[in-house]
Structure formats: structure tokens, C-alpha cells
Amino acid sequence: MKRRHSQFLFCAMIAVGIALLSGCARRPLSLWNEGAPAKTALVHYVKTVTKASSPDFIPPKERVAVFDLDGTLFLETAPTYFDWLLFEHRVLDDPSYHATDEQLVAARASRAGRFPKLDAERERMVSEAYKGMTINDFDAFVRRFMQEPQPGFAGLRRGDAFYRPMVEVVDFLVRNGFTVYVISGTDRLTVRPLVDALHLPPCQVIGSDSTIVASGQGEADGLDYTFQNGDTLILGGQNLVKNLQMNKVSIIAREIGTQPVLAFGNSMTDASMVNYAICGNKHKALGFMLLCDDLEREYGNAAKADKMREACSQYGWIPISMRDDWKTIYGNDIIKQEIQP
């Protein structure tokens, strides 16, 4: 009798577990508010294109989704982009690095709140700051910086500053047979350790690029040098491409070779990428843009958000409201606080 009772309890527990799992499967994106238009559109889309009997079915090998990083998956506003803050850290805080006068002037101005615009001079300085570092040493440098406290938030480390509802989107798509790529304006070697949280392989992380050379190469051109035993790969210190706007489309065509069916961005520097996904696609495709409209839990910008909402209407993008669509941004235990000068 006891044995039969135990078997009954065991079966009941299994049934409850299955029911709970089924309930989770029916309720994806749990950190999103119910009824959020972007959530509704995405869930319906995924259900439609992954059902074999659907006229909109997309074969798994063609289910490609692309995401911008800064401001789309990851914090960019406290106080500015991760890669530029990493540059500041390299120039002002790294005792092993002897910065140039130009770098010192730029880093000190930035730390005082005068951030440079995204231009060729800025990118040149960033690339030059790491010249001569091995790839492994640079990776370790980024990872150490990731462990530091994130300014503007109590209880958050720099490397953990991902928008948790967007991490859910990545996981949701991967579980449904999509191949997810991060297409960032930040250097790809900086992004690779950052996106460990997304569990994506390095080949699915595409960003801006600087030269990589062999340690014994010297000034020789890559066509004139043969990698040899004892060589290591080091950063060459020369910026090759800034992966923004049309450059994102070009690099998707070169490195992925498949037109995305989903694209997520947050600014007009992502506009070409999102338009590329939704324009002239043989498959049903959607483009989403995040609005930086949360002024309470994040360092939003209402005017910028309103402008992006207008652009969404103009181009046929689906807006994602950080303020209205998400239950949390970084987690309920993360507290926004004023950034100290």
C-alpha cells in the first residue's frame, strides 16, 4: 500500500512538472508585460514561421536574426559606450600603458563628461591604445574591466549590464531554431567576452575591426610574411572599419551570406541593417527598434525616443518601449543612482 502511494506521489510530481514546463512554453518572454505590442508581434511571428504547415514557414538554416549591441542588448547610457570607457580605463588607469598626449587629452575630457563624437579620429585612438597586446591579453583586459562596478547603478557590474528582457529574446529565438548574430559598432574582440552572457559562439559576433598581425611580422605586409612557430597574434593598432550604417549590411553579406529575417536595433546607425532585413525579403521578416524612453529605471532620452518612434512609423519598424513593455531592465535588485562626477 505504501509502495502504491509512493508511486502515485511520484507520478503526480511528474505531472505537475510537465504542466509547469508546458506553462512556461506557452508564456515566453516572462520579463515583458502582457499585451506589449512588440512581444505579441514577435511571439506570433516565431510561432508562424517555425510551423512546418504554415505558408510562412522558414527553414532553420534561413532563420537568421541580427542584433545591435549598445542600446539594443546592452547599456550605453551610463555614462557612455563600453568601448570608450574601456579606452578611458586603458589611458588613465592602466599603469602598464604609456599614453600619448593626444590620448590623455581625449580621455580626461571624456571622464569630465565631454564625450567625443563617433568619428575616424576617435576610432584611430581606440585602436592605437591596444597596439602590441596579444589577443589573449586583450581578452583578459576586457574581462577584468567587466568585473568593475557599473557607474549609475548599485549592485551591477559593467559586464552584467545587459537588458534582461532582450536576453530573453535571444534565448527564445535560439530555442526556436534561429541563428543569432550580434552586429555591433564596437570592436569585435571587445564584444566577444562581453556576450558570454548570451551563450553565442565567437563566430556569431561581428563588430568593427582593427588589424591583427603576427608578433614577428614587424612592418612587413601580411602578403609578405609567413606565420611561424613561436609567433603569437597581436593587435596591430590600425582601425579597418567602423561597423555602422551601410557597413553593417556589407559585413552581413560578406560574413553571414544570408539575408536576416529578424533585426533589432536602437538608433539610426542601425537603420540600414533593419531595413535590409525587411526590404525585399523572400521570407516574412520583421524589424524592431528600442526606444530609450525609460527615465526612471534607465538614463533615457524622451526627445530621442520620440524621434525614433516617428522613424518606426515611417520605415515600418516595430517599436520596443523600455518604459512600457518591460517588467524590469537589469533585474529588480539593481538600483539606479546618480553617476558621481
- In the predicted model, what is the mean pLDDT of the chain? 92
What confidence score (pLDDT) does residue 18 get? Answer: 40
What confidence score (pLDDT) does residue 13 get? Answer: 45
Report pLDDT digits (tens) over 244-300: 999 999 999 999 999 999 999 999 999 999 999 999 999 999 999 999 999 999 999
Q: Quick one: average pLDDT of 225-238?
A: 98
What confidence score (pLDDT) does residue 26 get? Answer: 53
State the cell numbers at 40.
505579441
Domains and CATH numbers, the chain: 31-78+152-336 (3.40.50.1000), 82-133 (no CATH)
CA dihedral of residues 152, 157, 161, 162 (deg, nearest 10): -160
Give the predicted TM-score (pTM) of the model: 0.91
What confidence score (pLDDT) does residue 51 get? Answer: 98
pLDDT band with cut points at 50, 70 and 90 for residue 8: very low
Measure Cα distances from 82 to 55, 94, 302 in Å: 42, 16, 22
How far apart are the C-alpha atoms of 112 and 102, rounded to whole Å? 16
Contact by Cβ (8 Å): 67, 174 = no
SS3 label, residue 210: strand
How do strand 205-214 and strand 286-291 relate by DSSP bridges?
unpaired
pLDDT band with cut points at 50, 70 and 90 for residue 341: low
Phi, psi of 318 (to 5 degrees): -95, 120
Please, which residues have CB within 8 angstroms of residue 98's CB and are 6 or more apart in sequence?
none
What confidence score (pLDDT) does residue 217 get? Answer: 97
What confidence score (pLDDT) does residue 27 get? Answer: 76
Place of cell 600619448: 100
- pLDDT higher than threshold 90 for residue 118: no
pLDDT band with cut points at 50, 70 and 90 for residue 15: very low
What confidence score (pLDDT) does residue 230 get? Answer: 97
What confidence score (pLDDT) does residue 199 get? Answer: 96
Q: Which amino acid is at 51?
A: K
How far apart are the C-alpha atoms of 263 and 273, rounded to whole Å? 7
Report pLDDT digits (tens) over 69-81: 999 999 998 899 9
pLDDT band with cut points at 50, 70 and 90 for residue 63: very high
Contact by Cβ (8 Å): 291, 309 = yes
Report pLDDT digits (tens) over 143-169: 999 999 999 999 999 999 999 999 999
